[in-house]
Chain A
Amino acid sequence: MAKNIHSDQRYIVGLVNNDTAIINEIYKRCAAKVKSWIVFNNGSDDDAADIFQESLMDIYKQAKYKSLELTCPFEPYILLICKRKWLNEIKKRSILPVTNSEEDLLHIGEDTFANADYLENQEAQSKLFFKAFEKLGERCREIISWSMKGEAQEKVAETLGVTYGYLRKKKSECMASLIKMVQSDKTEE
């Protein structure tokens, strides 16, 4: 898949590398805007800080674990994500929003919407996968989460009190049944 990666990808790289100079630049450019919009829509400073941080963490994780590639400018992208997050949040708290969902976003490019939609889909997927994971047996859940933590296999086997050979075999089986579950969840929908 050929993609035109935007030069603002550097912000994403900065996030992944925990580069404080770049992260500072992100806050400098966007924090005041997020804050005034959220405060204007009945949130507090703390709400704004939380929403901004959560959005950045979502982007960070997508970039680190799933090599997210940005094809739109960063600033409207993060602002759009924060707005959507806050609108979801006030729906939950049943506060009335002041502005209509996206009427003030008309100047934002389609590519930005597409990038933000992608991130949202990823979040939704993540919830689905986790639901499937929770349906697995306890043993499988244990084996999968221990293995994902990146510990040496021998150590994981020892912790769980099984042999190395059993762990390897069981892990593949557990993952296979997880994927099967995800597939059948998908066809159910």
Chain B
Amino acid sequence: MMNEEKLLTVARYLEGDMELQEKQEFETLLQVDEELKSLLAEYKNVHQTLKMKIAPSEDDKEVEATLAAFGKQYFKDQEHSSARVVTLRPYLRWISVAAILVIGLFVWAPWSVNLYEKYSISKEMSVVERGADTKNNLEKAADLYNAHDFSAASAVLAQEYTLSPENTLVAYYYGITLIETGKENDARSILTKLYEGESVFKYDAAYYIGLSFLKQKDNQQALEWLAKIPQGTANYDKAQELSKKLH
């Protein structure tokens, strides 16, 4: 058999255009004929590849719809509003609500988070705009930071920080985004360097190290750092006020 003939038999076999006896003969031949085997594999490959392109099924559209919905949630909403529906029997629900409230209050300790938010100082990151039509990375980071997308801002600032660790502005805001994204230890090692240096961010860095301990409910260390902020500097009053609340 020529290749062309073989190809046609493969097609007829797979498309169900063979009578029983011919089919059995084909299957016997397939056991021994390597060329036939590879033609069969090639046929299936082309068939399936084309099928996914020209005849997508309903299932495919449903999966695409699921992905689109998650895409919206994870890529476009700034704050995650992932409301979960939990159904419980009514009495169980009230017991669990009460229990969750009690446990939750202790674990979550909203008062220290609130204090952290209330006493944060650098809510806006501002950089010098170059006025060019494309934004540089620092401007991008500032936009993300000001939109409170701290994890995205952190990623950009991380790159900038590696490029120029001596840039105190980058180091300072990078430190804050690390605190915001729960990496307090990393934040402190960067901010401590700033505090040990002589930049304009020296005492701002000390203040934020204090806040990072506050966020982790380590009031003792928070107080120690707040105490480093000398009278006459910008954050002195705030640091004193906060210290009183922590005592």
Contact = CB atoms under 8 A, between A and B. Distances in A.
A48 B57 CA distance: 26
A78 B70 CA distance: 16
A10 interface: no
A98 B134 CA distance: 13
Q: Tell me the interface secondary structure of chain A in the complex.
A: helix
A28 B208 CA distance: 29
Contacts of B4: 176, 180
B49 A125 contact: yes
B75 A31 contact: yes
B6 to A, nearest CB: 9
B11 A173 contact: yes
B208 to A, nearest CB: 22
Nearest to B13: A172
Contacts of B183: none
A53 B64 contact: yes
A171 B15 contact: yes
A144 interface: yes
Interface residues of A, number: 55
Nearest to A58: B52
A176 B55 contact: no
Interface stretch (A60-68, A69-77, A80-88, A107-115): A60-68
A151 to B, nearest CB: 10
B155 A37 contact: yes
Interface stretch (B24-32, B40-48, B85-93, B120-128): B40-48
Contacts of A18: 59, 62-63, 66
A172 B15 contact: yes
Contact of A45 (B48, B54, B75): B75
A105 to B, nearest CB: 15
Contacts of A148: 47, 50-51, 54-55
B64 A180 contact: no
B17 A172 contact: yes
A32 B152 contact: yes
A53 B140 CA distance: 24
A168 B57 CA distance: 22
A182 B72 CA distance: 39
A157 B34 CA distance: 34
17 contacts: A18-B66, A27-B71, A27-B74, A28-B74, A32-B151, A37-B155, A39-B152, A48-B75, A57-B63, A66-B45, A129-B50, A144-B54, A148-B50, A169-B17, A173-B8, A175-B15, A179-B10
